[in-house]
Amino acid sequence: MRFDEKIAIVTGVGPGLGRSTAVGLARRGADVVLGARTRSYLEGVAKEIEDLGRKALVVPCDITKREECKNIADLAVQRFGRIDVLVNNAGWMGPTDHVVDVDLDVWQEAVDGNLAGTMAMCKFVAQHMLKAERGSIVNVTTIQIRQGRVQRSAYAPAKAGVHLLTQVLASELGPKGIRVNSVAPGAIWSEKLEAYYQTLADSRGVTYDQVYAEMTAEMALHRIPSPDEVANGVMFMASDWASAITGQSLDVNAGWFYH
């Protein structure tokens, strides 16, 4: 699976999946445009990419601002001449209040930061991809698109919207050689998640291993995937290995069926 000389934009480049995807693409030959709100972190990832012998362009970007979505697409083309791959990883969990208590302004921010922002990135990047009549877009959704659960009245519906948007765009852009797919992770391993599990264990008077076993009991592999493992799924869908796949969602969640 190679991306030699390809140009990729990755949004939401923070610790975890965003960084793993950006560095993974570079390791496989791509030059990468890095988008997120925190410039200092982007610059660190850019250094990793440059150390691999690839080029990186840092473009601070808040996907809730349409002009910034257009800007990152335009700057990518100005610098590299084209866009071959877009990975829409940016998103925000949003409020976790019950629906009767939720602040609707905060709820709207979560919808903007997931569905509307993804739509804007797809629009402005697709305008460039259409000129070349080729390209691949991968939208990161979530296992939560499968079933609504409590306290996810913003995040889950917004990501479900991204899932359907993926199918719509695949139908619209497919005749022009542009593929659009999505990847649906479950939990992704991180130091923050490890600390949360330890806090739960301490509060309940049980061991960390007991909490981990409980949290992974519904997963067929009984473990939580690493950011690199989920990034592998993203890169597969973006790559020529998936050249006949479009409008599809790939679960990368250790067999968490979420029924």
Task: Enumerate the active-site residues.
Answer: 155
* Phi and psi angles of residue 245, each rounded to the nearest 5 degrees, phi first: -110, 125
Count how many residues are written for the chain.
Answer: 259
CA–CA gap between residue 180 and residue 170 (Å, rounded): 5
How far is 244 from 48, CA to CA, in rounded Å? 32
85: nearest Cα among 133, 154, 32, 152: 32
Residue 196's Cβ-side half-sphere holds a number of Cα atoms within 13 Å equal to: 8
- The span from the CA of 14 to the CA of 208, in Å, is 26
- The DSSP bridge pattern shows strands 85-88 and 7-10 to be parallel
d(CA 227, CA 4): 22
Query: How far does the chain reach from its first CA to its final CA, in angstroms?
Result: 32
**Residues 203, 132: Cα–Cα separation, whole Å:** 56
203: CB partners within 8 A, 6+ apart: none
- C-alpha 151/C-alpha 159 separation (Å) is 14
